[in-house]
Structure 1
């Protein structure tokens, strides 16, 4: 299996051995809440009735159901594996590492503290530069949104961002010179009920 996994990792451009990647997956799975066998237990009887009334299925998950955490764990592992250190970003942008830390503090770059220091998601960089208009977008992102949610938003096509005959991701939109304020408006409601 490790040879097949290393082949997949190489094709995806991920710089990790099979063992390192599996360690990331295990760590991400540990961080996620364990699956709850009875989702209805999270709610009061009145809440369960209201949710059932609008069609939400609160029945316990059965063993044959796919585990919804699997995709999240894999995505989290890839996000962490492809993230860059402050030193790597500084070298890529041709600036001092202190400027990168300053941009993180000002909210002009996003990242998280991990063992060994800051990690910055790679999606916010292209061609040895920061995405144009990224600072406008990041200032609109609600502060309670974790890096995985922000990465998902920035790399998922949005119907409000047409690019030619298709929907663009916010990242593609910014790279194509699209108005960052348009992306910021979408980002500002991230995590809000639809």
Structure 2
């Protein structure tokens, strides 16, 4: 395997061998989208007409579309690999696994089921606790937003979160003691047109 890939994985702090990482990427690619999707095929003729009139491009896959898809596959693989199990999260927070499951059930932690087991994205943890203001932010996230979208939002610099004219990610904003209501307000807009 490539020493360069090993170095990138180590630098990113991913506890996975290059072969395991590539397997995760291949698995994510299969699950995220078929290799050559035809979006129009998912809709009835009336739905296609309405969506096309609304400005959506339902044309078949083009090779120039592969770069964004590849980025999504890699982001999904990294999100999955860096996520914690219920037991790992319980150890980090110093609580019983039942408390973690309860927090997941009531929306005080975010996670997804992977082959029947919960996975909890690492961005929501800080030291031996959870991110300050996490509960308020998660309460504002629309229910239809997938873990990858929420992770992307929480870890991407936002133009509305400025400290000394520098953009901050919602995660960094909260870690710095910023008002969780500002992040929650931004989170309510996830999945809506800009």
- Matched with 2:178 is 178
Mean alpha-carbon deviation: is it higher for 3-12 or for 23-32? 3-12
- Matched with 1:70 is 70
Gaps of 5+ in 2: none
Deviation at 1:46, TM superposition (A): 6.6
Mean alpha-carbon deviation: is it higher for 75-84 or for 17-26? 17-26
Q: Is this contact kept in 2: 1:155–1:171, CA < 8 A?
A: yes
Whole-Å separation in 1 of the counterparts to 2:142 and 2:2: 39
Encode CA deviations 1:95-126: one digit per residue, 9 max, x unaligned: 11111111111111000111252110000011
Deviation at 1:145, TM superposition (A): 0.4
- Matched with 1:189 is 189
- TM-align CA RMSD: 2.2
- Matched with 1:137 is 137
Whole-Å separation in 2 of the counterparts to 1:71 and 1:172: 23
Distance 1:46 1:121, change over 3 A: closer
Question: How does the TM-score come out when normalised to structure 2?
Answer: 0.87
Query: Could you list the runs of 4 or more consecutive aligned residues of structure 1 that deviate by over 3 angstroms after TM superposition?
Result: 35-50, 56-67
Question: How does the TM-score come out when normalised to structure 1?
Answer: 0.87
Question: Are residues 1:89 and 2:89 paired?
Answer: yes
- Matched with 1:163 is 163
Q: Is this contact kept in 2: 1:138–1:184, CA < 8 A?
A: yes
Q: Is this contact kept in 2: 1:113–1:119, CA < 8 A?
A: yes
Q: Secondary structure at the match of 1:73?
A: helix
Q: Secondary structure at the match of 1:118?
A: strand
- Matched with 2:98 is 98
Question: Are residues 1:13 and 2:8 paired?
Answer: no
Deviation at 1:64, TM superposition (A): 5.4
Count of residues in correspondence between the two structures:
190
- Matched with 1:122 is 122
Q: Is this contact kept in 2: 1:40–1:48, CA < 8 A?
A: no
Whole-Å separation in 2 of the counterparts to 1:37 and 1:106: 36
- Matched with 1:31 is 31
